[in-house]
Amino acid sequence: MGTLLSQNSRIKQEELHSLWQALQQKVDRMIGQLGDKSPHVAPQDTGIYDDMRLDWWTAGFWPGILWIMHDMTGKEHYKEAAWEWDGRFERKMMEDNNFHHDVGFQFLPSAIMKYKVTGDQDGKRRGLAAANFLAGRFNLAGGFLRAWNQEKTGWSIIDSAMNLSVLFWAAEEIGDPRFAHIGRTHADTIIKHFIREDGSVNHIVSFDPSSGEVIESLGGQGAGPDSAWSRGAAWALHGLANVYRYTGDKKYLYASQRVAHYFMAMLPADSIPHWDFRAAESLGEEPRDTSAAACAASGLIELAEALPEIQARPYREAAERILQSLTTSYGTWDRPEHEAILLQGTGNKPANSNINVSLIYGDYYYIEAVAKLMGWKRRIF
């Protein structure tokens, strides 16, 4: 499959169409392989995706892939495979569950995408319920969305940058600016407390939940409190570009660009980041994270679309270099039995969990980025 894309500075349209045909064939096989599974991780040796509970944070990405494929091709079998997922999430919400700050990851690519594509009113209702749920996690004193559940009442994480779109969508959909107020306030907190001057990003910031004062930054899934977790940078880059699209406020555009410049500057020769840009003196020994690469590529395309052509070119070309490298060196094209698309993702290196694996969100953002290059204009996140 390395011949799908050349190594020119720009991907040719005929190459994109060949890649899209290969992706359709891959997703068609995945429909049969995955069945009703809610995939998260596929080990490199077996290539078989696991089956996580429906309130797990990655549960929305597989239906998101299906909805993009349906929207791009009009083929009914993608819609049929995607249709029931948001209903399954809603039923889980009526039971004991662990839904939290990531309801955007679950309901944006399922319920809200379903509504945008088909006009389904149940999808709209479920998307609005998710927005209400997320808004209820807002801490007024600290101006942040609370992360996770249990005892972490004052924790907030950079991942939530990508969940803000559910709030902005709800504000537009029902004409209620309260959702957007919360989204903007949390985005302001990201700029103030998560993004460092050099454009690197904290994963976790701990606040006093009563006073809202910052207590400390925590390494989380990065190498340490002062490290630069690459997927966290991708969440911030893409998420704040989305906030700019919804608000038109250039402070979010500039913040996204600052993170993008750091991300682009720290990439190794093949444009696929190590799991943390500051993990070790010899990064060559550290695992890559193709999920960070795919999410960043989609965010870079989002940035490019927000800017005049002369300013947009470096971001678009960086995105294309990432996608070229993912396609030629990190795909499962020669392994039809493999249930995933991309190899060499890193989930949580500090916990020694899910290293050198396939990750469903890496697959999702790879498809999202390729679809954008092919002219897909509908936006989920």
SS (H, E, C) 296-343: HHHHHHHHHHCCCHHHHHHHHHHHHHHHHHHHHHCECCCCCCCCCCEC
List pLDDT tens digits, range 287-306: 999 999 999 999 999 999 99
Separation of alpha carbons 247 and 244, rounded Å: 5
DSSP state of 191: I
Higher pLDDT, 12 or 255: 255
* CB environment 247-284: b (16+ within 10 A), e (fewer): beeeebbebbbbbbbbbbebbeebbbbbbbbbbeeebe
Q: What is the mean pLDDT of residues 224-232?
A: 95
Q: What is the mean pLDDT of residues 314-336?
A: 97
Domain boundaries along the sequence of the chain: 13-373
The fold for domain 13-373 equals: Glycosyltransferase (1.50.10)
Reported as a pLDDT band with limits 50, 70 and 90, residue 9 is low
Average pLDDT over all residues of the chain: 96
Evaluate if residue 2 carries a pLDDT over 50.
no
Report the predicted TM-score, pTM, of the whole model to 2 decimal places. 0.97
Separation of alpha carbons 281 and 330, rounded Å: 24
159 is annotated as an active-site residue: yes
pLDDT on residue 101: 98
Evaluate if residue 129 carries a pLDDT over 80.
yes
pLDDT on residue 328: 97
pLDDT on residue 316: 98
List pLDDT tens digits, range 62-86: 999 999 999 999 999 999 999 999 9
Evaluate if residue 155 carries a pLDDT over 90.
yes
pLDDT on residue 4: 65
Pairing of strands 204-207, 214-218: antiparallel
Radius of gyration of the chain (CA): 19
Query: In the chain, what percentage of residues exceed pLDDT 70?
Result: 96
The residue annotated as part of the active site, out of 55, 71, 86, 102, is 102
Reported as a pLDDT band with limits 50, 70 and 90, residue 10 is confident
Helix, strand or coil, per DSSP, at residue 265:
helix
Reported as a pLDDT band with limits 50, 70 and 90, residue 281 is low
The residue annotated as part of the active site, out of 159, 276, 289, 363, is 159
* CA dist list (Å): 295 to 118, 126, 153, 368: 26, 25, 28, 9
Separation of alpha carbons 204 and 214, rounded Å: 11
Longest dimension (CA), the chain: 57
List pLDDT tens digits, range 343-360: 999 999 999 999 999 999
188 is annotated as an active-site residue: no
pLDDT on residue 284: 64
Evaluate if residue 250 carries a pLDDT over 60.
yes
List pLDDT tens digits, range 204-224: 999 999 999 999 999 999 999
* CA dist list (Å): 186 to 2, 7, 10, 113, 149: 41, 40, 36, 23, 18
List pLDDT tens digits, range 84-106: 999 999 999 999 999 999 999 99
Evaluate if residue 13 carries a pLDDT over 90.
no
pLDDT on residue 12: 85
